[in-house]
Amino acid sequence: MIAVGQVVDDRFEVKGVCSAAGGMGAVLHVRDRQDPDGPRKVLKFCKDTSPEMLTRFRREVRLMYELRGNPHVMTIHHCNVDHSPPYFVMDFYERGDLFNITGEIQSNFEAQERVFMAMLDCVEALHERDVFHRDIKPQNFLFDGSRLVISDLGLSAEVESMTRFTRSADAWGTAAYLPPEFHMPGGFKSADAASDVFMVGKSFYALLTGVEFPFYMQQDHPQVPKQLRPIIERCCRQEKGQRYNAIADLRASLRHAYDAIHGRVDGPPTAAGLLTMITKRLGTSGDFSTEQVHQFIEELQGLDEDSNKEICFNIPQDLCQFIAQQLPPADHVAFLKAYRVMVDTGDYGWSFAETIADNMARFFYCAEVKPAEKTEALRIAIIGAHNMHRFAAMETCMAMVKAIDDDELAQYVRDLIVEFQDLFIADTDPNVCRSIAIRNALVSVRPPQL
């Protein structure tokens, strides 16, 4: 065995144990004397020196070497299969295997999708070379924070290969992930793409739920998104012929599922589709994409009145805040123009006037919004409150007027008060207004006292 402090082949100095949990191999931290300042490396050696295990280990090394240069497969930098015990040297993956990041992907659909798609890329890289892994599980994918690779090819089967050393009834691998055919005579030896697909489905379930050994899967597990349940169920069907025939088919279904989760729409973007994408993103990651929101505002400009009303009724208040704070003045003008089309119709519930006023208050109180657009926001709020005779909305409008302390904005709003002197806004108490111009405007439009 190889011990800490030992120098292997006069080159690799063993610095510590990385992992001893593998089935046939142990992994050690090493320093390469030929590249002492280079990237961190680890050495994996065969800890079981039985003839069958040594054969498996040497096959793994050979396959890894044949797949060198493939970005989806772990790279071997050096090996010696004649050493006792045989070993190879690979990169050290800071994040370890995928089970170390289950918490991240369970709560983040975007990260979840990236990881699952990367897993499929890894498995497909093997299948393209007519290699089937036969021991797929989260622990056999390594992650360095940006790149995912598949490892542990010791059980892999090659089509038409004479190196299938396993007996026909043997079922190696990790029991909780094995497809049922591996327990049948000749099943493990005759593994194919559908066998790997079964284990991929189990791996998805394990990562979503945190169940490390998913012998049994709960079909309606709350941690599994509803859109993914049919996909995992199909991957893990007992009958091989009922599963996905290839990784490409599984990838297509997975992409469609995440399209639904994220609200992505095929074809040219529409205002409705973009709003769906925007609200989905808000629900999953709690933020907005500036590009998406800008594109949404552009699409709003071309809508007819009915379509405009339908879209604007469903705009979340947080989106109004984001537009006001994060988008440029041109987008403020365009958005308020489109929003007013809906407000002018008066075709909405009386309580919705409060929503209108609250949305417009987000523009009015935002420092990034220019005085002219603040005034337009107040105008829209006044129209909505007046149309529905909603007192709570009227109070919101009056509060905006009272809060004005900027001279330029005061002049804009002074003209607005004169314009709407027959509406409720003229009843704002001038004595509590901060601006002299606003107070004078309110006094001027009030009828003389008899």
| Cα 41 to Cα 314: distance, rounded to the nearest angstrom | 54
Task: Let me know if residue 397 belongs to a domain.
Answer: yes
pLDDT reading at 168 higher than 50: no
Range 41-48 average pLDDT: 87
Do 165 and 193 belong to one domain? yes
Tell me: do 377 and 421 sit in the same domain.
yes
Show the domain range for 274. 268-445
**Tell me, what's the pLDDT at 267?**
62
> Which of 65-79, 119-133, 381-395 has the lowest average pLDDT?
65-79
pLDDT in tens, 415-436: 999 999 999 999 999 999 999 9
> Given the structure tokens 């100095």, which residue do they identify?
13
Which residues in 127-191 belong to E strands, given as ranges?
A: 131-132, 141-143, 148-150, 157-158
CATH of the domain at 29: 3.30.200.20
Q: Is residue 1 part of a domain?
A: no
Q: Is 110 a domain residue? A: yes
pLDDT of 157: 63
pLDDT in tens, 92-113: 888 889 999 999 899 899 999 9
DSSP E strand stretches across 296-371: none
Amino acid, res. 155:
L
pLDDT band at 162 (very low <50, low <70, confident <90, very high): very low
User: Position of tokens 């918490």?
Assistant: 103
Residue after which a domain boundary falls, among 60, 91, 122: 91
CATH, residue 189: 1.10.510.10
Tell me: do 235 and 305 sit in the same domain: no
The number of folded domains in the chain is 3
Among 4-8, 160-164, 376-380, the minimum mean pLDDT is found in 160-164
Arithmetic mean of pLDDT, 30-45 = 90
Structure confidence by residue, pLDDT tens digits, 221-255: 999 999 999 999 999 999 999 999 899 999 999 99
Q: Within this chain, do residues 378 and 435 fall inside the same structural domain, yes or no?
A: yes
Last residue of some domain: 91, 120, 143?
91
Mean pLDDT of the region 62-77: 87
Element (H, E) at 175: none
69 and 147 share one domain? no
Q: What is the pLDDT of residues 366-417, one digit of tens each?
A: 999 999 999 999 999 999 999 999 999 999 999 999 999 999 999 999 999 9
188 pLDDT exceeds 70?
A: no
Residue 333 has pLDDT above 70, yes or no: yes
The H-assigned helical ranges of 67-129 are: 102-106, 109-127
Per-residue H/E/C for 193-233? HHHHHHHHHHHHHHHHHCCCCCCCCCCCCCCCCCCCHHHHH
What's the residue count for the chain?
Answer: 450
Are 85 and 102 in the same domain? no
Question: Considering only 17-26, 60-69, 406-415, 435-444, which range has the smallest mean pLDDT?
Answer: 17-26
In this structure, the answer to whether residues 137 and 276 fall within a common structural domain is no
Average pLDDT over residues 28-34: 92
Instruction: Return d(Cα 380, Cα 341) in angstroms, integer.
Output: 10
For residue 59, the model assigns a pLDDT of 83
Q: With respect to residue 2, please indicate whether it lies within any of the assigned structural domains.
A: no
Same domain as 181, residue 246: yes
Tell me, yes or no, whether 450 lies in a domain.
Answer: no
In a shared domain, residues 437 and 299: yes
Q: pLDDT confidence of 169, banded at 50, 70, 90?
A: very low
pLDDT, averaged across the chain:
88
- 194 with 277, same domain: the answer is no
Domain end: 241, 261, 281, which one?
261
CA distance 180 to 418: 80
Confidence of residue 67 (pLDDT cuts 50, 70, 90): confident
pTM of the model: 0.62
106 plus 236 within the same structural domain: yes
Query: Is residue 349 assigned to a domain?
Result: yes
Do 256 and 332 belong to one domain? no
